[in-house]
Amino acid sequence: METSLINALIYSIIPTLIGTLLTLYFTEKVKGNIKIGFDKKIEKLKKEHQIEITKFQAEINLLKSKENFKFTRLHEKRFTVLEKMYQLLNKAINELNLYISPVKSTPNGTTFEENEDNLQMNFIDAHNNFAGYFSNNKIYLDDKITTLIENYLKEISDVYNDYSQNHFLRKFGDTVDPKIHMKAYTAYKKVPEKIIPIKKEIEKSFKEILEQ
């Protein structure tokens, strides 16, 4: 009877145990499959994400390259403009000094008036070259430099007018007013007083741009 009871217990436990083991087996297998599938999806997402990051980084690098290229080209252009403008500025001031100088020599074969006319035209040409170049390239200059050059143009025009009025009246044989004559004779003093300080400020601003 005991044997029968044991056998009954065995027959009742074994199916349950086998069922439990099978359940655990299939459960773990399913879990394993789910984990494998999940890991694959994670790896796929990682790869896709890495591809997106790489693509995004490439786009950023491209934009940086373009910006650096534009900045380099702009800086090169500004360098060219500033270099040319400085040359024209010096030329105009030098020609003005020659024209308004109270002491000047007259070349052989040339009268005083002819020499005055030549010096005047030399200045006018140099001045117009500078003013025209400034007007055409103002876009490359900042507001500070633009204001300085506009002040320079006003001051140099005033000095030129002080001297050229006397030149014009004398050329056409008109009687020159002593006040006009005195303004012409002392016009050269305004160059170091009014023009050179502005020129130095322009030079300083040019250097600041070139050092960027």
> What is the rounded distance in angstroms from the CA atom of residue 149 to the CA atom of residue 202?
7
Report if residue 137 sits inside a domain.
yes
Between residues 167 and 35, the one the model is more confident about: 167
User: Given a cut of 90, is residue 201 above it in pLDDT?
Assistant: yes
| Dihedral, 90, 92, 95, 96 alpha carbons, nearest 10 | -110
For the segment 154-164, the average pLDDT, to the nearest whole number, is 95
User: Given a cut of 90, is residue 13 above it in pLDDT?
Assistant: no
Report if residue 152 sits inside a domain.
yes
For the segment 18-33, the average pLDDT, to the nearest whole number, is 64
> What is the rounded distance in angstroms from the CA atom of residue 95 to the CA atom of residue 159?
12
Binned at pLDDT 50, 70 and 90, residue 206 comes out as very high
Binned at pLDDT 50, 70 and 90, residue 116 comes out as very high
Structure confidence at residue 104 (pLDDT):
87
Binned at pLDDT 50, 70 and 90, residue 141 comes out as very high
Report if residue 102 sits inside a domain.
yes
Between residues 164 and 67, the one the model is more confident about: 164
Report if residue 117 sits inside a domain.
yes
pLDDT in tens, 39-55: 666 676 667 666 655 55
Report if residue 185 sits inside a domain.
yes
Residue partners of 81: CB distance under 8 A and separation at least 6: 137, 140, 141
Range(s) of the domain holding residue 106: 74-210
| CATH code where residue 134 lies | 1.20.120
Mean pLDDT of the chain: 81
Report if residue 59 sits inside a domain.
no
Tokens at residue 193, please?
């007083």
User: Given a cut of 70, is residue 124 above it in pLDDT?
Assistant: yes
pTM, 2 dp: 0.66
Structure confidence at residue 211 (pLDDT):
81
DSSP assigned state of 110: -
Report if residue 205 sits inside a domain.
yes
Total domains in the fold of the chain: 1
pLDDT in tens, 74-103: 778 899 999 999 999 999 999 999 999 998
User: Given a cut of 70, is residue 72 above it in pLDDT?
Assistant: no
